[in-house]
Amino acid sequence: MPEQYQLKGASVNEIVASVEGAVAGGGLQAGEALPSVRRLAAELDVSPTTVAAALAELRRRGVVVSRPRSGTRVAERPPLRPAYPVAHLPESTRDLVTGRPDPALLPDLGAALRGLEPPNRGYGDEPVLPELAEVAGAAFAADGVPAARICAVNGALDGIERVLVAHLSPGDAVAVEDPGWPGVLDLARTLGLRLVPVAVDGRGMIPAALAAALSAGVRAVIHTPRGHNPCGSALDEARARELRAVLDGPADGRSARGGDVLDGPSGRGGEVLDGPADGPSPRGGDVLVVEDDHLGPVAGTPWHTLVAGRRRWAAVRSVSKWLGPDLRLAVVAGDESTLARVEGRQSLGPGWVSGLVQRLTARLWADPAVIASVERAAETYRERREALAALVDAAPAPSGINLWVPVPDEDAAVRGLLADGWAVAAGARYRLSSGSAIRVTTAELRPDEAPALAAAIERAVAPPRRTRAA
């Protein structure tokens, strides 16, 4: 570690503040290793117990992660806003890394705003407007989600966080998809939860891997029913039925078989990171199930739900990818206890989501012309995704706006593609135990661009051998 970023501190709080300051200031980069407990204790002239306690607190906050045989490292996305400027891509580079929808395929918010009457809401009013509750409730019901009522929150992650906080405590284990969305992985770490990776294939979580996670004592399961990020997985009815059977059965790891592991070692789906679970394992039927429908209808496939008939559950549907990211709105259905806790905690913070945003969302959602444009967007995304998938060695992706492409060396592939004018995401942020890969967002990739990108991926993955000069 460079001298200017030397860690300091004589107490747990001081060491924690020193590490956080180094991360926020750029002195410690994502993925960088920290000294061992004994070495850092010697450098700071404190006891190893003090250092271990500081690292435990940093893990609880999601600033660092610890894995067997890898020591302690700065998390890939620590929950600290950096003080240094974010790097920008060269102007000529095609950005296939940010995971955003194609702006050209989103509805015109300006047209929808014209003539929209503000709701004139005040303190003490119901937090959800009736028109939003009606259209969202009908959509949930059409997808088999038993939504007697809904909550409105500020985006998918806000909803997922509120649900997790309503039921879990730091140290609880949660089953997550591997590979999975970094936002969920980082959020769980920040809440002090322990991640149990569950392998996925093109049809979602693998039943045997979920059964192993349940037997490891997880208190919650977070899964994506369709449009999985990064793999594009989507549940079909058969897989959903298998997973419901696993969740309803005893958490002993014997209730399911089948499914092909996506990309290697994540088949160890029941491995709990950072130590074994504490306390008795809950029965499968008592586990909290959270469904993250972040793509909504633009995912391009039906929603096969796992939550019907469960005691503790929540389904979160965001509108960001199909109506507009700046709306920052998601709707949450769930059991009555979960919704009561979410709304109760929300009332002590922001209180409610802007009524103007709710009314605008409801107007768009109820407009047949908008829904027709969303269906056309889903078809366009399918064409773009499949155009590239046909040319590369990608995992099956029946839905969504991303492809997960296995590569032998992520860093080399990302660098090679960037040199060729293509920016993609290294897979390290998305995976826990699964194999090396890159994530390519195909939302804005025209089909006629796919051959050039496929050729660039091939060059980056298998560069030509050097020959000795004559």
Are the C-beta atoms of residues 200 and 232 closer than 8 Å to each other? Answer: no
Residues 22 and 120 in one domain: no
Decide if 358 is inside a domain: yes
Q: Which two tokens stand for residue 68?
A: 């067997």
Q: pLDDT tens digits, residue range 314-359?
A: 999 999 999 999 999 999 999 999 999 999 999 999 999 999 999 9
**Average per-residue pLDDT in the chain?**
88
CATH of the domain at 98: 3.90.1150.10
Would strands 313-318 and 422-423 be described as parallel, antiparallel, or unpaired?
unpaired
User: HSE-up of 114 (CA within 13 Å, CB side)?
Assistant: 3
Q: Which residues contact 301 (CB under 8 A, 6 or more apart)?
A: 226, 227, 234, 398, 399
- The domain boundary residue, chosen from 305, 333, 367: 367
Element (H, E) at 214: helix 207-215
- What is d(CA 467, CA 350) in angstroms, rounded to the nearest whole number? 64
The reported pLDDT for the residue numbered 220 is: 98
Q: Which residues contact 141 (CB under 8 A, 6 or more apart)?
A: 147
Are the C-beta atoms of residues 256 and 208 closer than 8 Å to each other? Answer: yes
Are the C-beta atoms of residues 303 and 144 closer than 8 Å to each other? Answer: yes
Q: Which two tokens stand for residue 62?
A: 């999601």
Going by C-alpha positions, the residue among 332, 327, 284, 328 that lies closest to residue 309 is 284
Are the C-beta atoms of residues 452 and 421 closer than 8 Å to each other? Answer: no
The reported pLDDT for the residue numbered 253 is: 41
Residues 113 and 209 in one domain: yes
Domain residue limits at 394: 94-104+370-461
Are the C-beta atoms of residues 410 and 427 closer than 8 Å to each other? Answer: yes
Q: What is the mean pLDDT of residues 193-209?
A: 96
Are the C-beta atoms of residues 38 and 80 closer than 8 Å to each other? Answer: no
Residues 54 and 114 in one domain: no
Q: Which two tokens stand for residue 420?
A: 């060729």
- The domain boundary residue, chosen from 367, 391, 422: 367
- What is d(CA 110, CA 256) in angstroms, rounded to the nearest whole number? 50
pLDDT at 143 over 50: yes
Residues 115 and 231 in one domain: yes
Residues 310 and 378 in one domain: no
Residue type, 36: S
Decide if 306 is inside a domain: yes
Are the C-beta atoms of residues 405 and 437 closer than 8 Å to each other? Answer: yes
CATH of the domain at 351: 3.40.640.10
The reported pLDDT for the residue numbered 92 is: 87
Q: What is the mean pLDDT of residues 207-214?
A: 97
Residues 50 and 98 in one domain: no
Residues 347 and 406 in one domain: no
Decide if 84 is inside a domain: no
Decide if 46 is inside a domain: yes
Q: Report which of residues 121 and 274 the model is more confident about.
A: 121
- For the entire predicted model, the pTM comes to 0.84
Residues 75, 79, 85, 91, Cα dihedral to 10°: 70
Residues 423 and 405 in one domain: yes
pLDDT at 114 over 50: yes
Residues 328 and 428 in one domain: no
Q: What is the mean pLDDT of residues 369-397?
A: 95
- Under the banding of pLDDT at 50, 70 and 90, the label for residue 463 is low
Decide if 83 is inside a domain: no
Residues 99 and 124 in one domain: no
The reported pLDDT for the residue numbered 276 is: 38
The reported pLDDT for the residue numbered 189 is: 86
pLDDT at 270 over 50: no
Residue for token pair 């004139």 = 120
Residues 232 and 282 in one domain: yes
pLDDT at 66 over 90: no
Q: Is the peptide bond before 250 cis (omega within 30 degrees of 0)?
A: no
Decide if 64 is inside a domain: yes
Residue for token pair 């809904």 = 150
Are the C-beta atoms of residues 176 and 266 closer than 8 Å to each other? Answer: no
Decide if 234 is inside a domain: yes
> Number of H helices and number of E strands within the chain?
14, 15
Q: Which residues contact 309 (CB under 8 A, 6 or more apart)?
A: 146
How many structural domains does the chain have?
3
